[in-house]
Structure 1
Amino acid sequence: MSAGEFAGAPEAVAAELRRTAAELLEDVSSYADDMLAYILERIPEAGADDDLRGLTLGSCSSNLEGALSMVRHGIDVSAATAPVTALEHARAMASRGYSVDVMLRFYRIGHAYFSERILSGITEFVADPRLAMQVAADLQRYGFAYADRISSQVAAEYVAELDRMQNRARAARTDAVRALIAGQAVDLGRLERTLSHRLTGFQTAFVCWTDTEDADLARVGAAVGSHLGSTHPLLVPDGVQALWGWVATVRAPDLELTALEPLAARIPAGVRVSIGNTAHGATGFRASHAEAQRGRRIVELSGRDARLTVYADVALVDAMTGDLDLARAFVAAELGALAQRGRREDEERQTLLAVLDAQGGLAAAASQLGLHRNTVLQRLRRAEERRGRPATERVVELHAALRLTEALGLAVLPPPD
C-alpha cells in the first residue's frame, strides 16, 4: 500500500493525505512526547529507568516521523524499515528480561494512540467532513500496515538479542567450567555467580553422550540432575553430541546401581551416561568430572550399550587399562587359552568369575548364574584346563584378569589366530 494509492483513492484524497502528513510532521516532537505519556500510563515498564524511557521516546519520535514522512512522499509501506532507536529499544527490552509480548504492546498501544489522539482530530486539518473521513480511514490503514511491519522487524531483533545474550552466557559458563577443571586460580564467588551453581557442599559430575543426531541431551541431563537431587543442574554442552553436568547437594546422592535403576530406565536408546564419584567443593567438582570422563572411556572401550555407568563400578578396570597393551598382555598371561574368543570360553570365564566372587562357593555361583551346581563344576574344571593351572593359584591376578574381560570384552582379548 502506498500513500498515494489507498485502494484506488482519487487524487484529491491523495493530495490531502500528503498535505495532512506534512502538517502533522511540523509538530512531531509534541506528538512523540504525548505518545510517551500515553504509553507510560498503560505500560509502566517503559519508564523502568532513564535509559529505557529515553529509548521509548526516541522510538515514538522516529516511528511517527518515519511513517508520516512516507505518507507525505507517497512511499509504499513495504519499504518501511525499523528506525535505529526502535531496534535499540528492542535490544534494551531483551537485556532487561522483558518478554516479547511486553515489547510488542508498545506498538499496539502506539497504534492506539495514533488512532485516538491524532486521527480523531483530523477535521482540524481537513475541512470537508467526507474528505476528512476518507483521509482518516486511509491513514488508519497505512498506520496499521506500518506498525505491523515494524513490529515484526523489532521482534526479530529482540529474538536476535536474546540469542546473543544466551551465546555470551553459554560462552562465559563454558570458559568458567574449563578454568575450574584445569585447576586455574579463580574467584570462587564470582565463578558461582557466572555458573549459577554452588561450589560448596557435595559435587557429583556426570557426562551424557550419543552417536545419534536427534537426542535431547539437555533433557537427559535434567533428568540425571533431578534424580541426583538437583532441579537445576549445571549443564554445559561439549560439542553437539555430548553434555557435561554437575549437581551440588547438601548430602551425597546414593550411587548404588539399585538406587539408580529408575534413572537408567529413563535414559533413551542411543544415549549413555557416566557418573563420577561424589566429592566435596571445587576440588571435588574437578575430580568427579575427571572420573565421569574416565567412566565414559571404559564404556567406549567395551563397545557395549551400557546406558548408565557409575565410576566406582569401573574404577579398577580404569586403573588397569591406562596402558591397554599392558592390560592385554596381563590378561593373556593370567588366562592362557581361556583368553581365546568364543562362546564356550566366554561361558567358562563367566563361571570362573562367579565362583571367585562367591569365594569358591559353587552353590552361590550356580544361583547367581541360574545354572545347576554340576554345570558350574564342569565349566570350572574346563576353565582350569584351558588356563593351565588351578583357580587357587594367583587368585588375585586371576580375579583381576577376569574382571577386565568382563568389563572390556574383545578390547583386552587377543585377536583370533
Structure 2
Amino acid sequence: MEALEPARGAAARRGIAAYLLANVAGLADDMLTYLVERIPEAGADAELRGLTLGSCSSNLEAALSMVRHGIDVAAAEAPVTALEHARAMASRGHSVDVMLRFYRLGHEYFTEKLSESLTDPAYDPAVALRTFIELEQFGFRYVDRISSLVAAEYVAELDRRQNRARAERAEVVGALLAGERVDIARAERVLGHRLTGRQIGFVCWGDDRGVDLERIAGQVGRFLGAGHSLVVADGPLAVWGWAAVTGKVRTSLMGMATEISSESRSVHIAVGSSSPGAAGFRTSHLEALRTRRVIELSGRVAPSITQFSDVALVDAISRDLDGARAFVSAQLGALARNDVKERGERDALLAVLDAQGSLATAARTLGIHRNTVLQRMRRAEERRGRPATVELAELHAALRVCDVLGASVLREQ
C-alpha cells in the first residue's frame, strides 16, 4: 500500500495541473485582476495591462504543463511575454522591485488556487496535503527561476536604454561644444537642461576614485544658482558640468567651499564665466577647461576652486609656454629665479602693484611690516635691473604669471 502512495501523489499532481490547464484563460484573467488590485502600476496603461495578462497566461500554462508532463523545473525558461513585460517595466521607469512583486503576488494567487482545488472530499487528506506541498514547492522554484530571468532582462533593457540615452546626450553635447547648429528644443529634451538664459560651465576633478564627483558637481551647480545641473563624465576622475542660471549670477566663488560637502576638499573645481544661450554653453565650458589647464600647469596639489576671470590673463600669456617663459625672463631678469628669496621679493612687488603703490595695503595683504615690503621691493627692482615704473603693465603681468604658474615659467638657480 505504501508503494502506491508516490504514484497516487503523482497522479493527483497531474490531475490538478490538467484541471487548472483546462481553464487557464479564466485563471489568467482572474490573476490579472488580482494583481491590478494590489499593484497600481499593472493597470497604468493598456499596453502594460495587456503584457501583464500575457505574462500571467504564459507563465500559468508553462508551469502547469511542466507539472502535468513531469518536467523538471530546472528546464523552465521565461516566456516571451514575460520578458517583454520586464522590458516594458524598465522603459516606464518602474523599479525592479515593483516588477518582481508581480511574481511574488502571482505565486500567492497560485497558492490560493491550489488550496481551493484540493478541498474536494474525494481526495484522501494525506494525499491532498502532500500534493499541495509538492505543487507549492514547484511553484516556488518556478517563480524563483523565472523571476531571476526576467530581472536579468529588466537590467539588460535598462542598460540598453541608458546607453542609448548616454550616446544621444554625448552626441548633443558634442555638437554644442563644436559650435554646430542644433535643434534647441530637442537638445534641451535630450539633455534635461535649459539652454536659454545664462550658462556657466565648470569642471571637477581629482585623484581619488572614491569621491562622488557627480554629487559634488550637483552641489556646485546649486551654489551657482541652478536647481539642476547637467553633468557629463570625463573619464573616471573628472566631470564636466553646466548650470543654467536665470536669476542673479554669482560673481564670486567665496563661500563655495563651506557650502559643498567635505569630499570637495580633495577636488579641484574650475568655473567658467556666465555666458548666454547655446553659444555660452560652449564658451563657458572652454573657459573652465582653460582654467583647469592653468591649475594643472601650476603644479598645485592642494584642492582649489578657481574662476576663469582670476586666471584669464595667465591663460592668455601661457598659451605658448615657451613664449611665457621668455616674457617672464625679459621682464624680471634675475628676479625670475625659482628661489625662496626671489619669491618673497616677487610677492612684495606684486602686492604693491595690486595695491596701486600703497605700501601699507601691501603690508596688510602679506602680513608683514611696511618697511619689510619696501626693502623687498627695492631688492626686486635691483634684481630686475630697472625700476618698477618701467613697463609697469608688462611687469605686473609677468609677476601675476609667476604667482600662478611658479616653477613652470621660472629659471632654476
Q: TM-score, normalization: structure 1?
A: 0.92
| Structure 2 counterpart SS, 1:10 | helix
Q: Name which of 7, 10, 26 aligns with 1:11.
A: 7
Q: Deviations over 1:328-365 (max 9, x none)?
A: 10000110011011111111110111111122222221
Alignment-derived partner of residue 388 in structure 1: 385
The one-letter code sitting in structure 2 at the alignment partner of 1:322 is R
Task: Give the conservation status (yes or no) of the 8 Å contact 2:220–2:260.
Answer: no
CA shift for structure 1 position 267: 5.2
User: In the aligned structure 2, how far is the partner of 1:265 from the partner of 1:97?
Assistant: 29
1:227-306 alignment to 2 at 5 Å? Answer: 227-263=223-259, 266=262, 268-304=264-300, 305-306=302-303
Change (3 A) 1:331 1:72: same
Alignment-derived partner of residue 329 in structure 2: 332
Alignment-derived partner of residue 318 in structure 1: 315
How many residue pairs match? The answer is 408
Task: Give the conservation status (yes or no) of the 8 Å contact 2:220–2:256.
Answer: no
User: In the aligned structure 1, how far is the partner of 2:42 from the partner of 2:397?
Assistant: 70
Task: Give the conservation status (yes or no) of the 8 Å contact 2:272–2:287.
Answer: yes
Q: Deviations over 1:187-240 (max 9, x none)?
A: 101111111111111211111112232221111101101111122111111122
Moved more, 34-43 or 288-297: 34-43
Alignment-derived partner of residue 360 in structure 2: 363
Task: Give the conservation status (yes or no) of the 8 Å contact 2:269–2:306.
Answer: yes
CA shift for structure 1 position 311: 0.4
Moved more, 111-120 or 219-228: 111-120
Q: Name which of 334, 337, 341 aligns with 2:338.
A: 341
The one-letter code sitting in structure 2 at the alignment partner of 1:57 is L
Moved more, 163-172 or 400-409: 163-172
Alignment-derived partner of residue 5 in structure 1: none
1:166 aligns with 2:162: yes
| Structure 2 counterpart SS, 1:74 | coil
Change (3 A) 1:78 1:204: same
Q: Unpaired runs of 5+ in structure 1?
A: 1-8
CA shift for structure 1 position 151: 1.9
Moved more, 254-263 or 308-317: 254-263
Alignment-derived partner of residue 52 in structure 1: 48
User: In the aligned structure 2, how far is the partner of 1:381 from the partner of 1:193?
Assistant: 61
Report the identity percentage.
Answer: 60
Task: Give the conservation status (yes or no) of the 8 Å contact 1:202–1:252.
Answer: no
The one-letter code sitting in structure 2 at the alignment partner of 1:68 is L
1:43 aligns with 2:50: no
CA shift for structure 1 position 126: 6.2
Task: Give the conservation status (yes or no) of the 8 Å contact 2:229–2:242.
Answer: yes
Change (3 A) 1:127 1:261: closer
Task: Give the conservation status (yes or no) of the 8 Å contact 2:219–2:260.
Answer: no
The one-letter code sitting in structure 1 at the alignment partner of 2:353 is L
Task: Give the conservation status (yes or no) of the 8 Å contact 1:206–1:246.
Answer: yes
Q: Deviations over 1:305-345 (max 9, x none)?
A: 34211000001111111211111100001100110111111
Task: Let me know the Cα RMSD of the aligned residues.
Answer: 2.1
Q: Deviations over 1:38-89 (max 9, x none)?
A: 3233334323333222211221122112212222333333443322211110
1:400 aligns with 2:397: yes
Q: Name which of 65, 85, 105 aligns with 2:101.
A: 105
CA shift for structure 1 position 116: 2.0
User: In the aligned structure 2, how far is the partner of 1:38 from the partner of 1:359?
Assistant: 81
CA shift for structure 1 position 262: 2.6
Task: Give the conservation status (yes or no) of the 8 Å contact 1:317–1:403.
Answer: yes
CA shift for structure 1 position 404: 0.4
Q: Name which of 214, 235, 242 aligns with 2:210.
A: 214
CA shift for structure 1 position 143: 1.0
Alignment-derived partner of residue 6 in structure 1: none
Q: Deviations over 1:126-184 (max 9, x none)?
A: 64343223212221222122222322332232233223222222222221111111111
1:74 aligns with 2:70: yes
User: In the aligned structure 1, how far is the partner of 2:394 from the partner of 2:54?
Assistant: 79
CA shift for structure 1 position 123: 4.8
User: In the aligned structure 1, how far is the partner of 2:119 from the partner of 2:84?
Assistant: 35
User: In the aligned structure 1, how far is the partner of 2:44 from the partner of 2:303?
Assistant: 53
Task: Give the conservation status (yes or no) of the 8 Å contact 2:32–2:53.
Answer: yes
CA shift for structure 1 position 279: 1.1
| Structure 2 counterpart SS, 1:268 | helix
Q: Deviations over 1:350-382 (max 9, x none)?
A: 011111112222222112111112211221121
Change (3 A) 1:154 1:341: same
CA shift for structure 1 position 255: 3.0
User: In the aligned structure 2, how far is the partner of 1:276 from the partner of 1:99?
Assistant: 38
The one-letter code sitting in structure 2 at the alignment partner of 1:407 is V
